[in-house]
Amino acid sequence: MKKPELLLPAGGLERMRTAFFFGADAVYAGQPRYSLRARNNEFVRFEKMEQAINEAHALGKKFYVTSNLLPHNSKLRTYLDDLAPIMELKPDALIMADPGLIMKVKERWPDAVIHLSVQANTTNYWGVQFWQRMGISRIILSRELSLDEIEEIRQECPDMELEVFVHGALCIAYSGRCLLSGYFNQRDPNQGTCTNSCRWDYKVLPTVESDAGDARLAPGAERFGFGGGSGSAAGLCSSSNEACSTGGGVCSTSVGNSPNKPYSPGGAGAGGAYSAGVSRSAGGVCSTGGRGAADLAYSTGGVSRSPSEDYSTGGSSSSEFRVPDAGLEGFDFNAMREEADSRFASVGGAPRHPLADNVYLLEEGNRPGQYMPIMEDDHGTYIMNSKDLRAIEQVERLVKIGVDSLKVEGRTKSMYYVGRVANAYRRAIDDAVAGRPFNPELLADLQNVANRGYTPGFLERHQTQDYQNYLHGYSVSRLSQFAGVVRDVDDDGWATVEVKNRFRVGDKLEVIHPSGNMVIVLEAMEIDGEPTDLASGNGREARIPGMHGKKGALLARLLSEGERERLVKLTGVSGE
């Protein structure tokens, strides 16, 4: 059975070395200015890129340069000249998405090895065959594919290298083609400047519809916003091709409030801030009644709302917003998860919730009074941020399918993240190739890195809400905390540790190493040659015993029961 490549991110030399130490076969890093990480990594300095590629090749490893920007005209003039010095370093491949850039690279460097980025959205074997004829060596398949679809592509394209994402953050838009960041902050994600707007704090508010079909903020809605002002808005009008985010969620064009025309609940006094045209589409594509893109903003039609207006709880009109008998109490989307299997609209045939046909408004925490419409089609809605991809349980199937490379997302992650994830997937791949059963301990290992909850994504079919984290928009590590790195080990087993976070004598430390992980109770420690009970924080060096053969290990302090309980109270998530 062929062993697939394990491909990890490298945002700098230390992370690259960590990835290789823990079992990565290859790494990828962004080309300055021309990848989708505008915050330039360490490799903005040419000598660092040169050093990294040379080190990788000396270890028999591969180094791929990501150049997957979808550029505007202004960047075309400098692209080839900026790429030329990097090509002299002989990276093992370029990861690219734009057909024009690919054409020009092939013209200038005919032997260049090019891997097609996931940004190109390759979802079928005809697409793979097309790019193969264009001289592409490997296709990084769209994240929206199932295992069965990947297997069919493998069968139809037996001599094309296929790469699949198995771990890391998921974008709420179709293969990352999101417009939220550009809409809010004029920072284009496809130019590498995503602000992760899907992780922000949003409140969901109900609307009522006029006889003309315009959606208006429901009377009293300001007092009880759905979701209690907590959660992130994933799937808002976010895809650049106007298709629904995450495979059939909320419609995704630039529908929303215009930054220059803030919505006013006062109505006419705001000057008719929004244009009409919000409507639902069963296919999930925004319908605007033929209006131009400039008119896609949310509408009140300039109609004023009186505080004395009745909030409808009855009647036969489907456009009326129905509220619970309790009156003006909030509708809690978090509580909704508990009944999702039977009531929330989702893939899998669950009954459609009676509130699903209403239009709702989102209000972002730092933009009070600015509202954006969301709506639901027959497949569901995605109002919170995506969980993180974790496909370690699917590694065995991917190995059997014959996928060539398994990829981890995370170019902005820490060396601890890179090391732990590489270690877990290295073991999973080796077990699968050797025919050993899946080791469930690997799941616990991955809970020790910060995450927003895990999902296998589209590799397996789930209820739509299982893709989303409805509770919080930030990453949490629920079991342990990165404590330090073992930089050197003496013959007597005492190790020099670079301290990353505080730990003390008596703590349980997990030692993560390619030779195997172990848990120890720290019995002694020295700093500057003197015994001590506490390593107080980042930047210090400490010495600890019992580290024979563990040079290069990562240390993680296991959280106490009390710390876990406090974390559960803070986040509302147990991590089980």
- Pick from 40-54, 245-259, 363-377, 421-435: least confident: 245-259
- Shared domain for 104 and 251, answered yes or no, is no
Residue 436 in domain: yes
The mean predicted confidence, pLDDT, of the chain is 74
User: Which residues, 6+ apart, have CB-to-CB distance to 192 below 8 Å?
Assistant: 30, 35, 36, 37, 38, 69
Q: Are residues 376 and 489 in the same domain?
A: no
Is residue 220, in this structure, part of any structural domain at all? Answer: yes
Whether the per-residue pLDDT at 542 is higher than 80: the answer is yes
Per-residue pLDDT tens over the stretch 409-459: 986 788 999 999 999 999 999 999 999 999 999 998 998 888 878 888 889
CA–CA gap between residue 11 and residue 30 (Å, rounded): 8
For the cut 60, the answer to whether the pLDDT of residue 305 exceeds it is: no
- Taking each continuous run of H as one helix and of E as one strand, the counts in the chain are 13, 26
As a whole number of angstroms, the distance between CA 294 and CA 279 comes to 16
Tell me which of 322, 356, 386 is where a domain ends.
386
In a domain, residue 28? The reply is yes
Segments in 254-367 forming alpha helices (H): 333-336, 340-343
Question: Residue 26 is inside which H or E element, if any?
Answer: strand 26-30
Three-state secondary structure call for residue 507: coil
Q: How far apart, in whole angstroms, are the C-alpha atoms of residue 151 and residue 146? A: 9
pLDDT recorded at residue 347: 43
Residue 473 lies in a domain: no
What pLDDT does 375 receive?
A: 58
For residue 508, what pLDDT is reported?
95
Report yes or no on 576 lying in a domain.
no
Instruction: Give the range of the structural domain holding residue 258, as residue numbers without chain letter.
Output: 173-386
Residue 265 has pLDDT above 50, yes or no: no
- In this prediction, residue 501 carries a pLDDT of 93
Cβ proximity of 456 and 394 under 8 Å: yes
Q: Provide the pLDDT for residue 376.
A: 54
Lowest mean pLDDT among 21-35, 213-227, 330-344, 506-520: 330-344
Q: How far is CA 413 from CA 105, 240, 406, 477, in A?
A: 30, 26, 18, 13
**Both 120 and 31 in a single domain?**
yes
Q: How far apart are CA 146 and CA 397, in angstroms?
A: 11
Q: Taking each helix axis from N to C terminus, what angle separates 73-88 and 99-108, rounded to the nearest 10 degrees? A: 40
The answer to the question of residue 566 being in a domain is no
pLDDT at residue 475 is higher than 80 = no
Using one digit for the tens of pLDDT, what is the confidence trace for 321-353?
Answer: 333 333 334 445 445 445 544 444 444 455 556
pLDDT above 90 (res 236): no
Q: What is the distance between the alpha carbons of residues 116 and 67, in angstroms, rounded to a whole number?
A: 10
Higher per-residue confidence, 201 vs 279 = 201
Q: How many domains, in total, are found in the chain?
A: 3
Longest dimension (CA), the chain: 82
* Among 187-196, 256-265, 505-514, the least confident range: 256-265
| Residue found under tokens 């890195």 | 449
Q: What confidence score (pLDDT) does residue 221 get?
A: 64
pTM of the predicted protein model: 0.68
Burial call 392-418: b when 16+ CB within 10 Å, e when fewer? bbbbbbbbebebbbbbbbbbebbbbbb
25-39 per-position pLDDT tens digit: 999 998 877 776 655
Judged by DSSP in three states, 122 sits in coil
Rounded Cα gap, residues 512 and 415, in angstroms? 12
Q: What is the pLDDT of residue 189?
A: 60
- Stronger pLDDT, 487 or 43, i.e. the higher one: 487
**pLDDT tier for residue 539 given thresholds of 50, 70 and 90:** confident
Whether residue 432 is contained in a domain is answered as yes
Helix (H) or strand (E) holding 34: none
Strand partners, 286: none
Question: Does residue 360 share a domain with residue 489?
Answer: no
Claim to verify: residue 342 and residue 394 sit in the same structural domain: no
* Residue 237 confidence (pLDDT): 35
The reply to whether 120 and 20 lie within a common domain is: yes
Identify the domain boundary among 339, 359, 386: 386
Label residue 575 by pLDDT band (50, 70, 90). Answer: very low
Q: Which of 167-176, 233-242, 404-413, 461-470 has the lowest mean pLDDT?
A: 233-242
Of 109-118, 275-284, 480-489, least confident by mean pLDDT is 275-284
Query: What is the structure's pLDDT at 173?
Result: 62
Relative to beta strand 405-408, strand 5-9 is: parallel
The verdict on 219 and 161 lying in the same domain is no
Residue 274 and residue 379 in one domain: yes
Same domain? For 377 and 405 the reply is no
pLDDT-derived band of residue 88, with 50, 70 and 90 as boundaries? Answer: very high
pLDDT over 70, % of the chain: 61
E-strand stretches of 461-570: 468-469, 480-489, 495-499, 503-504, 508-512, 518-521, 526-527, 530-531, 534-535, 541-544, 554-558
Domain assignment of residue 564, yes or no: no
The rounded percent of the chain whose pLDDT value lies above 90 is 46
pLDDT higher than 60, residue 144: yes
Q: What is the mean pLDDT of residues 482-498?
A: 97
Tell me which residue has tokens 């394990």.
6
Distance CA 44, CA 224 (A): 48
Q: Are residues 269 and 315 in the same domain?
A: yes
Which range among 99-113, 224-238, 270-284 shows the weakest confidence by mean pLDDT?
270-284
Residue 272 has pLDDT above 70, yes or no: no
365 and 411 inside one domain: no
pLDDT at 285 over 60: no
**Statement to judge: residues 182 and 54 lie in one domain:** no
